Amino acid sequence: MARLLLLISLLGCLLQASCYGGSRPPRIGQAAPEFTVRDADRTVSLRQFRGQVLVLNFWATFCPPCVEEMPSLISMAQSMKPKGVTVLGVSIDVDAGSYHKFLVDHGVKFLTVRDPDQKSSTLYGTHGWPETYIIDRDGVVRRKFIGPVDWNSPEVRDFLSKL
């Protein structure tokens, strides 16, 4: 019985790991969906980033994987900015106080906006966090990352530099 449960668990893990195997996630190679997010601090629209490589990161303060990837995202945002790479963080936090405290406590210096109604993340089909879309200078989605990423890895930096 224990072996059967182990086999079923292993099979489930393999199936889950291969969800995107052999095919591209939706939107790759297509124009990024246009959106405008307005919070108490600012209004941000996708169109304002035309001509830049955009790292569009959907995240939340209460999401442990989001917190895990934040230091490398901050570091990459600073070092890649001179190369025309811009990071936009879209937080789904409902609590504005927690959101602002997180930005200060973690030294988040890249552009962020809060979208508590999750309109922009829903437009992109994002249901888990963090999820990040790489959008090229022409507004085309080139890559999607699901889960935390080491934004300082040579593979990621090389990919961004080539765009």
What is the pTM assigned to this prediction?
0.83
Domain-wise residue ranges, the chain: 27-162
Distance CA 120, CA 21 (A): 26
Q: 139-159: per-residue pLDDT in tens?
A: 999 999 999 999 999 999 999
Q: For residue 128, what pLDDT is reported?
A: 86
Q: 99-133: per-residue pLDDT in tens?
A: 999 999 999 999 999 999 999 999 999 888 999 99
Q: How confident is the model at residue 91 (pLDDT cuts 50, 70, 90)?
A: very high
The backbone region for 49, taken as left when phi is positive above 0, alpha when psi lies in -120 to 50, beta otherwise, is alpha
Q: 22-49: per-residue pLDDT in tens?
A: 344 567 999 999 999 999 999 999 999 9
Q: For residue 16, what pLDDT is reported?
A: 37
Cβ-count burial 4-41 (b if 16+ within 10 Å, e if not)? eeeeeeeeeeeeeeeeeeeeeeebeeeebeebebebee
CATH number for the domain formed by residue range(s) 27-162: 3.40.30.10
Distance CA 150, CA 157 (A): 10
Question: In this structure, are strands 85-91 and 111-114 parallel, antiparallel, or unpaired?
Answer: parallel
